[in-house]
Amino acid sequence: MQVPVPPGEEVAPKLIRLLWFVGAGVLSVAGINKWKELEKKSAIQKQTDETSSSDSKAVD
């Protein structure tokens, strides 16, 4: 199977653009997932801090 290419045009630039686009998508998804993970950890830490502070107030 051969990809039809107009005369005078190379396949390499199109392939590079495709790989660039896919790479940018992968990096974007990885960044978004990392951000969500940090937000989740922050929320858990905040909840833990509030719980421990309310427990220590109850003991006092």
| Residue range 22-39: mean pLDDT, rounded | 98
Assign residue 37 a region (left: φ > 0; alpha: ψ between -120 and 50; beta: otherwise).
alpha
| Residue range 24-40: mean pLDDT, rounded | 98
| Residue range 23-50: mean pLDDT, rounded | 96
Distant-in-sequence, close-in-space partners of 11: CB < 8 Å, separation ≥ 6: 3, 5
**Distance between CA 37 and CA 26 in Å, rounded?**
16
Task: Give pLDDT, residue 56.
Answer: 64
pTM, full prediction: 0.63
**Distance between CA 34 and CA 4 in Å, rounded?**
40
pLDDT in tens, 4-24: 777 777 778 889 999 999 999
Task: Give pLDDT, residue 2.
Answer: 74
Task: Give pLDDT, residue 13.
Answer: 86
